[in-house]
Structure 1
Amino acid sequence: MDISTSGKGGGPYTSTMNLVNSSLKEKYDYRIFEYNTSLGRFISIKRIKDLVRQLREINPDIVHFTGLQLSGFHIAVACRLAGLKRTVIVIRGSSTEALTISFLQRIIIYMLEVATLAMVKTFYGVSKYSSELRLTKPFRKRSSGWVYNLPIMTQKSDSPFSKSDLGFSENDVVVVSVARITTDKGYHILCQAIKNLVDKPTIKFLIVGSGAYLSTMENELAGQSEQVKFLGYRNDVSRILPACDIFVLPTLHETLSNSLLEASEYCLPLVASDVGGVPEIITSGENGFLVPPSDPDAIRDAIVRISENETLRKEMGSRAKEILGEKFSEKSISEKVNSIYKNLLGE
């Protein structure tokens, strides 16, 4: 049995490794094959040949891989060429949702993603939203519904940072955001919201991650350097979150956010855009607030409301962890994946 990954870092890789290291490893022999992005561009014969070679060497009973996107198309073609029919693709999103592609690119990608779904035995989404994307409609009979991402299974750090370690006062309310720092993730919107909070000096911000918009955001907020700190990409987020009070994700499209789930584990109230699968994590008014996408004033208001009410902050944080346990337990998610595997194996 195999799980594909295109490399370390990011949501798909994290979710893949969570599954590989879950209780399912006691029943299944997981092996990783690599999707090598250095082998050619766009539709790459070299990538497909490399995938076929890897798959034939392993000869798996099931191929479980991530898509849709271009990687999903390459792997689906490789499975066909390798004669492997028990295939399941995880829909973590569609490239057609990207904000920076042209109309022609969107049409071509749509056709490739439809072709991918036509080649696999079954598929499931990582959220109800992603399982019901418009392009899945002709293939609903093959759908296995949706299975949420397993929560990040990192051990809580024995040496978490304090607010003072991060350069803040213990009386400050620290708002953290962890993601790729891009406009797709809405960081130009968060940037404006932070500018609108210049009159609230005890509300501090930690921006964790790297990406195309990072340098622009740093320049835009240079005048608020006492209020905003940029940490870049970090592999010790579990040390950072305990020092924080609120988690914010301004994304403009999202199938399901691992970072929101991880923040919930640390009892942080959540502020995020009401898009995609985010409402499947956040119940507005319970474990945080959903805000309209591209609305910096709404982000500002939600942050101020939580930051100025310690009781509300604690109640929402506690509820965030409760919802994590109720909807995203390792046991229930593993059971759903196991059921998909058994159906593929005819058991």
Structure 2
Amino acid sequence: MTKKTNVLIVISNMEFGGAQRQIVELVNNIDNSKFSVSVCSLSQYTPLAEQFNSNIPLYVIHKKSKFDFSVVFKLAKLIRKHKFDIIHSYLFDAEIAARLAAKLSFTSIKIIGSERNANYTLKPIQKRAYIFTKHLVNAIVANSQSGAEFNAKQTGQPKSKYHVVYNGVDTNRFKPQSNQNIRAELGIAESAQVIGMFASFKKQKNHPFLIKALQQVKKQGVNFKLLLVGDVLYGGLHGSDNYTVALKQLIQESGFSQDVIYLGNRDDVERLYPACDFTVLPSLFEGTPNVVLESMACGVPCIATDVSDNARIIKHTSSGYIVAVDDIDSLSQYILGLINQPNLLNELSNNAQQTIIEKFSSYKLSENMEAIYSSVSCKNRL
């Protein structure tokens, strides 16, 4: 009987974020006959872990402070105890802790890093930490071509270490459905024009861009509802608490604040996408945004900014729209076009769903990750 490859996935937390959602998709769809996968969170805040299949072990090594180095030793102990073959880390804190813990475990464990974004600004201490530990990493999985190129440039890793695996979406969970019940629950008329934005309240997501574009739409006499799904990051991380205060003030002064519906973080987003006619993701930078994939899988077209690999996912004018960051005029015109042309909206909807089924399913995600785990594990046994 072939021995299973024992994989430990380490992440900074399991809150409502894109990387966390992809871990759920991966561990729930990976081939259990070949891989045994466990997850370790460096925070006690683990709401998305509730979506793991029952056979997925979850370990919590709580990081008590910014420089709590005891996490490294506890993680090394966990590696030795369970004899993991591979450690795969997500997000900065977990990346560095995993690299050092693997080294201090004095085992033959292989280390896989991740890149989930592109074209953001690394703090000097983060860049030094990545460069200092880069020789420990056996492979890096980026969820976009631009992310792989960005990470290589920032850290000096050879391009041979990189693999691109696009995010995947569960097409059984995210699929077209009637919006009648959910709109009734939300108090939205069936005939209303509903625009959705699914994103945490943080600077990266660039909510003000959408608000300013919608002000132009409102001046054209067009009525709509704006559905905001997401909330401030746990503990106000990355200044998201201050960002949220400023965002809500901007909305209050927008002239359409009465038409904005705040839903916070939700674990039933597959029901909320169909409540929308289309969605908008105006991010300043991304990797492969889950919300674009999820929206399209539900047959809800998306307008997204031309960052990272968004243009590789959305075929402009065929399955959605790509707009330059902060091109308010173009965004407002695309929004008006979708509101005023229901036949076009239906065409984009069909094309969007088909794109996800063919190229960005959870099955594709797990299949691609299995190949990387197998490759790294084989090298481990040489």
TM-score by length of 2: 0.81
**Structure 1 residue 110 displacement after superposition:** 1.6
Q: What residue number does 1:179 align with?
A: 199
**Structure 1 residue 210 displacement after superposition:** 0.5
- Measure the CA separation in 2 of the matches of 1:4 and 1:120: 14
Query: Are 1:24 and 2:31 counterparts?
Result: yes
**Structure 1 residue 151 displacement after superposition:** 1.1
Query: Are 1:91 and 2:115 counterparts?
Result: yes
- Measure the CA separation in 2 of the matches of 1:204 and 1:337: 39
Of 310, 313, 316, the residue aligned with 2:345 is 313
Of 109, 117, 121, the residue aligned with 2:138 is 121
**Structure 1 residue 154 displacement after superposition:** 6.3
The secondary structure found in structure 2 opposite 1:346 is helix
The secondary structure found in structure 1 opposite 2:280 is strand
Q: What residue number does 1:72 align with?
A: 95
Tell whether the 8 Å contact from 1:154 to 1:238 is kept in structure 2 after alignment.
no
Q: Any idea what the Cα deviations from partners look like across 1:8-38, whole Å, max 9, x if unmatched?
A: 2211111111110004233211112222485
Tell whether the 8 Å contact from 1:274 to 1:292 is kept in structure 2 after alignment.
yes
- Measure the CA separation in 1 of the matches of 2:127 and 2:293: 29
**Structure 1 residue 205 displacement after superposition:** 0.9
- Measure the CA separation in 1 of the matches of 2:289 and 2:166: 10
Tell whether the 8 Å contact from 2:86 to 2:110 is kept in structure 1 after alignment.
yes
Tell whether the 8 Å contact from 1:65 to 1:88 is kept in structure 2 after alignment.
yes
**Structure 1 residue 109 displacement after superposition:** 1.6
- Measure the CA separation in 1 of the matches of 2:96 and 2:326: 31
- Measure the CA separation in 1 of the matches of 2:228 and 2:289: 16
* Counterpart AA for 2:24: M
Unaligned 5+ segments in structure 1 are 99-104
Q: Any idea what the Cα deviations from partners look like across 1:247-268, whole Å, max 9, x if unmatched?
A: 1001001011001111011111
Distance 1:70 1:31, change over 3 A: closer
Q: What residue number does 1:101 align with?
A: none
- Measure the CA separation in 1 of the matches of 2:98 and 2:311: 31
Query: Are 1:281 and 2:313 counterparts?
Result: yes
**Structure 1 residue 287 displacement after superposition:** 1.0
**Structure 1 residue 190 displacement after superposition:** 1.5
Tell whether the 8 Å contact from 1:270 to 1:288 is kept in structure 2 after alignment.
yes
* Counterpart AA for 1:135: Q
Tell whether the 8 Å contact from 2:29 to 2:363 is kept in structure 1 after alignment.
no
- Measure the CA separation in 1 of the matches of 2:344 and 2:222: 20
The secondary structure found in structure 2 opposite 1:230 is strand
- Measure the CA separation in 1 of the matches of 2:187 and 2:213: 21
Q: What residue number does 2:154 align with?
A: 135
* Counterpart AA for 1:149: N
- Measure the CA separation in 1 of the matches of 2:245 and 2:28: 36
Query: Are 1:111 and 2:156 counterparts?
Result: no
Of 226, 250, 254, the residue aligned with 1:220 is 250
- Measure the CA separation in 1 of the matches of 2:12 and 2:304: 27
- Measure the CA separation in 1 of the matches of 2:117 and 2:144: 10
Unaligned 5+ segments in structure 2 are 1-6, 45-61, 233-239
Tell whether the 8 Å contact from 2:143 to 2:165 is kept in structure 1 after alignment.
yes
**Structure 1 residue 120 displacement after superposition:** 0.9
* Counterpart AA for 2:173: Q
Tell whether the 8 Å contact from 1:117 to 1:139 is kept in structure 2 after alignment.
no
Return the structure number with greater relative CO, CA threshold 8 A, min gap 6: 2
- Measure the CA separation in 1 of the matches of 2:375 and 2:207: 42
Q: Any idea what the Cα deviations from partners look like across 1:162-198, whole Å, max 9, x if unmatched?
A: 4343222222221101011222210121221222222
Distance 1:168 1:331, change over 3 A: closer
Distance 1:156 1:276, change over 3 A: closer
Q: Which moved more, 1:262-271 or 1:223-232?
A: 223-232
- Measure the CA separation in 1 of the matches of 2:96 and 2:143: 18
The secondary structure found in structure 2 opposite 1:239 is helix
**Structure 1 residue 216 displacement after superposition:** 2.9
- Measure the CA separation in 1 of the matches of 2:311 and 2:68: 37
Identity in percent: 24
Query: Are 1:166 and 2:186 counterparts?
Result: yes
* Counterpart AA for 2:194: V
Query: Are 1:146 and 2:164 counterparts?
Result: yes
Work out the number of aligned pairs and report it: 338
- Measure the CA separation in 2 of the matches of 1:225 and 1:307: 19
Tell whether the 8 Å contact from 1:209 to 1:233 is kept in structure 2 after alignment.
yes
